[in-house]
Every structure is written in structure tokens, then in C-alpha cells.
Amino acid sequence: MTDANQLIFELTGERPKNYNIRVKPITTTRKAPDEQQVRDCFQTPAYATDLLIPFIPKDITQVWEPACGGGKISRQLRKSGYTVFESDLKSDDPSKIFNFISGDNKTLPEKISIITNPPFSVKDMFIEKCFEYEKPWALLINMDYSQWHIDLINRGCEKIIPNARISYVTPLIVSRVNEKEGTEYLTVDDIPMELLYKYTSAQFHSGWMTWGFGLGRTETFVDLPIEQRRYNI
């Protein structure tokens, strides 16, 4: 017995129980700012962008989406009248290829905001790069009360948090739907909304971390009804 267990035995006459507790090892996400990882390619449902749009500063007319992926965020912003510039680490369009983290800082228009769902593995690096530009920004990330989030709030950030989880369009959703449903869809856009809703995924609660939006409070909670999550993906 250890010294502590021996003391318990001497004081109580009872031998301490051995619960054989298995402790899950602490893992860290591998950071690869120059590499596109599968886990970083989760697409943003339309309703998540729609949650943000009412809070974008009124003088903002242009948006830079630096992790545009399949363009779901960009499409929603354009529907609301914003001019959107897109870039990503990889793209079929060579003019869009740009490494947001390691690339040289671009000269941005005055009335512009940076809005994106950053690659999960390097979201902290995305935020630090956003700070460098000194333009209003909003990044869709996991919402918690970690020390990192507290530090961001102390640096002037404000959260927009939905009252339900945002479910993401997973990288392998097309093959998964076809396998489970016996279908032959070719792209995400071909999949009916009811199946998208069924196969989207939410592993944690997420929301928009913003800076320069002037919300006036550190946390703003917004309603996310089931109708939006089911029919506006």
C-alpha cells in the first residue's frame, strides 16, 4: 500500500478500494498550417452563416472568406448583398490559392470583415492572424470556457452562441449517404435537405467568436430553431 492508503487503513481499519480507473490520455491536435487535413474540411451549414449576418457591422460591405472550401459561407453572404473575396489553401481555381496563416498580409479595403469557419486544427493560428489585420472578424469555432477563450474575451472578443448545436457537413457525407441510403449522389448539392439533416454531425457546441463587431457584451445568445437546422443546410 502507498503511504496514503496505509494511513487510511490505520485510521479506519478498512483497506482502500482499488477502482482500477482508466484515464483517457490527453491528446493535442496536430497543427499543419501548410497541409489540408480531412478533419479540417467540415462545411458550414447555411443557417450558421445566417445566424451571424444580423450582427455584421452595418458599414461592412465586403468580406474575405480565407478558408472558403465549397463556398457555403460565401453563398449565404452574397445572398445578403456582400461582396465576397475567397481564398483557401487548395482550390480548383489557382487565383484563390492562398495560405492565410503563412502568407504575406494583404492590403485590405477599409470596409471589410474576415469571416470564415477556420480549419479546426489551426483555429488558434487563424485567430492570431486575424488580429494582425486589425479588421472586424468572425470565426466559427467550438464554444467553451477554456483559458484560451477567456484570454480572447480579455483581448476584446465577443461570442455569438446559438441555443442548439451547429451540425456540420462532413467531408465524406456523399459516400456515407450513398452507402446507407442506396443512392448515387455525386455532390453535396445533389443530396436532398432531409438527408443532409440526417447525416450532418455536431461533436461539440460551436458559435461565432468575433472581434470588432461592437456587440456590447461578451456573450450573445441566439435562437436556432429546428426548422432552420432541418431545412436551411
> Quick one: which of 200, 161, 170, 142 has its CA closest to 38?
170
Q: Is 80 in a helix, a strand, or coil?
A: coil
pTM > 0.85: yes or no: no
pLDDT for 41: 75
Main-chain dihedrals φ then ψ at residue 199, nearest 5 degrees: -110, 0
Tell me how far apart the alpha carbons of residues 150 and 164 are, in angstroms, rounded to a whole number.
Answer: 22
pLDDT for 124: 96
Q: Which residues pair with 211 in a beta bridge?
A: 137
Strands 83-86 and 137-142: unpaired
Q: Dihedral sign, CA of 175, 177, 182, 188? A: negative
Residue 167 and residue 224 in contact, taking contact as beta carbons nearer than 8 Å: no
Low-confidence ranges of the chain (pLDDT < 70): 1-40
What domains can you pick out in the chain, each with its CATH number? 36-167+202-231 (3.40.50.150)
Integer angstrom CA distances of residue 173 from 39, 178, 187, 205: 13, 8, 9, 20
Say which amino acid occupies 232: N
**Dihedral over alpha carbons 148, 151, 157, 162 (to 10 degrees):** 40
> Quick one: which of 233, 127, 154, 135 has its CA closest to 188?
233
pLDDT for 36: 54
pLDDT for 17: 53
- Polymer length of the chain: 233
Residue 87 and residue 66 in contact, taking contact as beta carbons nearer than 8 Å: yes
Tell me how far apart the alpha carbons of residues 46 and 171 are, in angstroms, rounded to a whole number.
Answer: 16
Record the cell numbers describing residue 137, joined without a space: 472578424
Say which amino acid occupies 62: Q
